[in-house]
């Protein structure tokens, strides 16, 4: 069987590739800055936005993008102090998850949509959703490229960056807002419960394999693409869930990088 003979598979491959590039690029800086917990929390924040959009009769992707981005900026506004930031992120996480469950309680006939939000449904990506995902990913990548130099400076040497006039809180807000966009895209592929594997897994593996900055960045992109497209291909031939294969490939890659000879 040829997966490219089916329109839904072509849409799925294009969506997975676009999201993998964005998740890999953002995830590399996320791991570099030690903010993996924020990436995990934003998936649950986006769940509240998506279920709220379902309740209002709006597209779930629109609610996912809006609330994830706003939640990321709110987390960035908590400041650079690690202990204070983690407490704030935990509070935002629990409150948004509770709000999402409340919205879901009032939405009737949406069991399938809720399952897709939680576990992803890349095979159900239609042409309008694909266009929206590609637009979101392209916009987020362009914004990340524009922010890359000061973000890298603030990530590696925050004290020196602050002394040179870099506004650390503003950089954190802008970056976590972009992370919210990446989470919204990745949730369409693997769901909000497994968004961590695509956002953090490739970056963590790459940083295990090389300590060099730009080789590690491009290796992250390659790993994210390989895991997303490889998982989709394995799902097509085995009829097992795509989210399972993507998370399994990510876990195996990280295990190999950790225990390689």
pLDDT in tens, 188-235: 788 877 888 889 999 999 999 998 999 999 999 999 999 999 999 999
239 occurs within a structural domain = no
Residue 43 counted as domain residue: yes
pLDDT in tens, 14-35: 999 999 999 999 999 999 988 8
In a domain, 156, yes or no: yes
Residue 167: give the domain boundaries. Answer: 3-193
Does some domain include residue 214? no
* Phi (first) and psi of residue 77, to 5 degrees: -70, -10
**Is the pLDDT reported for residue 80 higher than 70?**
no
Domain assignment present for residue 78? The answer is yes
Residue 112 is assigned to a structural domain of this protein: yes
Task: Kindly report the CATH number assigned to the domain that includes residue 154.
Answer: 1.10.3470.10
Predicted confidence at residue 34, as pLDDT, reads 85
Q: Which long-range contacts (CB under 8 A, 24 or more apart) does 193-196 make?
A: 193/43, 193/118, 193/119, 194/119, 194/120, 194/243, 194/246, 194/247, 195/39, 195/40, 195/42, 195/43, 196/36, 196/39, 196/40, 196/43
Residue with tokens 């709000």: 99
pLDDT band at 46 (very low <50, low <70, confident <90, very high): confident
Do the domain assignments include residue 260? Answer: no
Report the pLDDT value the prediction gives residue 75, as an integer from 0 to 100. Answer: 83
The domain total for the chain is 1
Domain contains 13: yes
């Amino acid at each position: 069987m040829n997966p490219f003979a089916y329109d839904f598979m072509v849409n799925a491959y294009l969506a997975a590739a676009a999201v993998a590039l964005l998740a890999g690029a953002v995830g590399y800086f996320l791991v570099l800055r030690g903010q993996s917990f924020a990436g995990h929390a934003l998936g649950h924040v986006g769940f509240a936005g998506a279920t709220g959009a379902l309740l209002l009769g709006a597209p779930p992707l629109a609610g996912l993008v809006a609330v994830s981005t706003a939640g990321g900026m709110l987390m960035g506004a908590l400041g650079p102090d690690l202990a204070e930031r983690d407490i704030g992120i935990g509070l935002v996480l629990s409150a948004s998850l509770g709000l999402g469950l409340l919205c879901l309680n009032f939405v009737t006939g949406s069991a399938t949509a809720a399952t897709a939000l939680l576990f992803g449904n890349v095979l159900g990506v239609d042409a309008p959703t694909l266009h929206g995902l590609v637009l979101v990913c392209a916009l987020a990548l362009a914004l990340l490229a524009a922010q890359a130099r000061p973000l890298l400076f603030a990530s590696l040497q925050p004290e020196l960056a602050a002394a040179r006039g870099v506004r650390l809180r503003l950089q954190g807000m802008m970056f976590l807002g972009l992370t919210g966009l990446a989470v919204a895209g990745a949730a369409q592929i693997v769901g909000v419960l497994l968004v961590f594997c695509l956002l953090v897994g490739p970056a963590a593996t790459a940083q295990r394999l090389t300590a060099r900055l730009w080789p590690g960045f491009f290796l992250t992109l390659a790993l994210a693409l390989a895991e997303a497209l490889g998982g989709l291909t394995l799902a097509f031939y085995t009829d097992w869930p795509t989210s399972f294969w993507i998370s399994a490939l990510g876990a195996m890659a990280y295990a190999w990088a950790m225990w390689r000879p």
